[in-house]
Chain A
Amino acid sequence: MAHSRDEIREGLSDILEEVAGVNPDDVADGKSFTDDLDVDSLAMVEVVVAAEEKFGVKIPDDEVANLKTVGDAVSYIEKG
């Protein structure tokens, strides 16, 4: 099932709050996981695994490095 960008962003926001304590108000496409949201590399692993489960997608490890911002992740998941 395809998800809209808004749905994906909201789902990511829930995951970020759950695993890394990120305030949902701070989650926006332009925000960098590491620089703006303080999601370190270990927390990012948890975010990726939770996102795969939530959206039914595969995010290979070598792809994770390219997902610098929330928008990058939303776009990747949108493509499915």
Chain B
Amino acid sequence: MTGLGATTPLGGDVASTWEALVAGRSGVHLLEHEWAQELPCRIAAELAVEPSEVLPRVRLRRLDRSEQIALVAAQQAWDDAGLSDDLDKERLGVVFGSGIGGALTLLAQDDILEESGARKVSPFTVPMLMPNGPAAVVGLEFGAQAGVHAPTSACATSAEAISWAADMIRVGRADVVVAGGAEAVIGGLPMAGFSSMKAMSTRNDDPTHASRPWDRDRDGFVMGEGSGALILERRDHAEARGAKIYAVVAGSGLTSDGYDIVQPDPECRGGGRAMAAAIKQAGIDPKEIGHVNAHATSTPVGDMAEVKGIKRVVGDHVVLTATKSMTGHLLGGAGAVESIAAILAIVEGVIPPTINLDNPDPGLDLDVAANEARKVELNAALNTAFGFGGHNAALLFTKA
């Protein structure tokens, strides 16, 4: 792992995001938009820095918001890794996902179709709404020719992307891979849909306390938007060019529940198998894993199921945190941004807090960095991500 990039509700880059995470700041607020006023859930974690502050105007109008932020995060990661154009592009890959794709473009262009007719529909509609759009845009930006892939597994998307990226390098298809995910679907229809499932918090009168993983009074997730990007690089390639190495992707595991389209398996069997697969691939003792950046979205069933899985597979010695308490749920961007948090926890020796954990669920029998960051020496940390459809991903990072 040689480069990190992000744009999140907490900051327009990795440094500002990390600073806010460690400080325990919430990125959630009440939505002032007119379209939000009749929704059951009127709170969300919108981007701290608008893409329009970073990208040129003409570029913006041809990209869906998810593609814009994918580009912003990927460019940061690329620059952070110190990569340049002299890289062998036939050995450069991209794995970049989105959970939902360009839903806001789809809705906006459908309005244009209804109101003004087919001829007024933007010729960029299709490349803007296709779910592989963020991957394609990032791939084009850097001229990647080893393969551009777009996993789509709902909220497990960008963790799955990192796993695929590691596999691309392991099997020898690429030397460098830009991996990550992006999501930007804070809009009426997506929010109404999640609300109809009763998946979202309705704590509209108290936005910063709405995302509260593992707390007794949690009532659903809070939607966020954002993107995270990571540069994965074959170790000898990174060493040969003297790149700084943040951490190692020591193992990854991908499984599926075979249980329900949206309900998590209450025993977290599939999630547990993903964690076990990551640990097995890394070939380390689970006791060496000091920290799990958990998927924990602040939903009643999922949060506690995951705790069972972690306890069973990793053990009861780990310190958990749920950074979604601050960022909200970035859906397809979650796994990448949370992997960055897990990696920086190793690098900095600090686990960001889980805010709003005032009254822990009685079933929470693992240690959580509750409400304050925790200084801990870490050799290995795990990130988990689970998605609607029963997709499970676990990523195990170790000290460089």
Interface residues of A, Cβ cutoff 8 Å to B: 19-21, 41-43, 45-46, 49
Residues of A within 8 A of B281 (CB): none
The answer to whether the Cβ of B35 comes within 8 Å of any Cβ in the partner chain is no
Q: Tell me the complex Cα distance, A63–B56, Å.
A: 31
Residues of A within 8 A of B170 (CB): none
Contact A42 B123 (CB under 8 A): yes
Name the residue on B nearest A41 (C-beta). B123
Q: Considering only CB atoms and an 8 Å cut-off, how many residues of chain B contact the other chain?
A: 9
Contact A46 B57 (CB under 8 A): no
For this complex, 16 residue pairs linking A to B, each with C-beta atoms less than 8 Å apart, are A19-B58, A19-B61, A20-B58, A21-B56, A21-B57, A21-B58, A41-B123, A42-B123, A42-B124, A43-B123, A45-B123, A46-B122, A46-B123, A46-B124, A49-B119, A49-B120
Shortest beta-carbon contacts, A-B, top 10: A21-B58, A45-B123, A42-B123, A42-B124, A49-B119, A46-B123, A49-B120, A20-B58, A46-B122, A21-B56
Residues of A within 8 A of B124 (CB): 42, 46
Main secondary structure of the interface of B (DSSP, over half): helix
Q: Tell me the complex Cα distance, A42–B58, Å.
A: 13
Residues of B within 8 A of A41 (CB): 123
Interface residues of B, Cβ cutoff 8 Å to A: 56-58, 61, 119-120, 122-124
Q: Tell me the complex Cα distance, A19–B62, Å.
A: 9
Least CB distance, A31 to chain B, in whole angstroms:
18
Name the residue on A nearest B59 (C-beta). A21
Residues of B within 8 A of A46 (CB): 122-124
Residues of A within 8 A of B119 (CB): 49
Residues of A within 8 A of B56 (CB): 21
Q: Tell me the complex Cα distance, A43–B124, Å.
A: 8
Least CB distance, B219 to chain A, in whole angstroms:
44
Q: Tell me the complex Cα distance, A19–B119, Å.
A: 16
Residues of A within 8 A of B61 (CB): 19
Q: Tell me the complex Cα distance, A49–B57, Å.
A: 19
Residues of A within 8 A of B57 (CB): 21
Q: Tell me the complex Cα distance, A20–B57, Å.
A: 9
Q: Tell me the complex Cα distance, A37–B120, Å.
A: 23
Name the residue on A nearest B125 (C-beta). A42
Residues of B within 8 A of A21 (CB): 56-58
Name the residue on B nearest A40 (C-beta). B123
Q: Tell me the complex Cα distance, A25–B122, Å.
A: 26
Residues of B within 8 A of A19 (CB): 58, 61
Least CB distance, A17 to chain B, in whole angstroms:
9
Least CB distance, B117 to chain A, in whole angstroms:
10
Least CB distance, B109 to chain A, in whole angstroms:
13
Residues of B within 8 A of A45 (CB): 123
